[in-house]
Amino acid sequence: MKAYSLNSLWILLAVPLMATTARIYIVDNAGTRVRVVDPATNKVVQVIENIEAPEVARFSPDGSRVYVNSGADSAIVVVDRATGKQIKKVPLSGWAMI
């Protein structure tokens, strides 16, 4: 019987933990919401409200913040990823919707 190293065991334990933290961010560019879906259950687990015409969601390198551009406001809205609360709105200059 082949003995597994401790490193292999940690990898096997980490994979399920990573899978449970995956989320899908769905922007409603004709509305005011970003829905967060858990792909394991296909259920909405969070709704980020009051972003007029959200178009794209991007993430900070550490994953703690979500940056959503608001097409109607020509701004980037900074959101706390854990709570879904808006932290601030940064106006964009020279932004034009075509």
Decide if pLDDT at 8 tops 90: no
**To the nearest whole percent, how much of the chain has pLDDT over 90?**
62
How many independent structural domains does the chain possess? 1
User: 3 or 80: which carries more pLDDT confidence?
Assistant: 80
- CA torsion through residues 85, 88, 91, 95, sign: negative
59 is a domain residue: yes
| CA-atom Rg of the chain in angstroms | 18
Q: Which of 70, 82, 76 has the alpha carbon at shortest distance from 31?
A: 70
48 located within any domain: yes
pTM of the model as a whole: 0.73
Answer whether residue 75 is part of any domain.
Answer: yes
Residue 11 pLDDT exceeds 70: no
Q: Quick check: is 52 in a domain? A: yes
- Domain CATH for 70: 2.40.10
Is the residue at 27 inside a domain? yes
For the segment 41-55, what is each residue's pLDDT rounded down to a tens digit?
A: 999 999 999 999 999
Give the structural domain span for 62: 23-91
Residue 95: band (very low, low, confident or very high) from pLDDT cuts 50, 70, 90: low
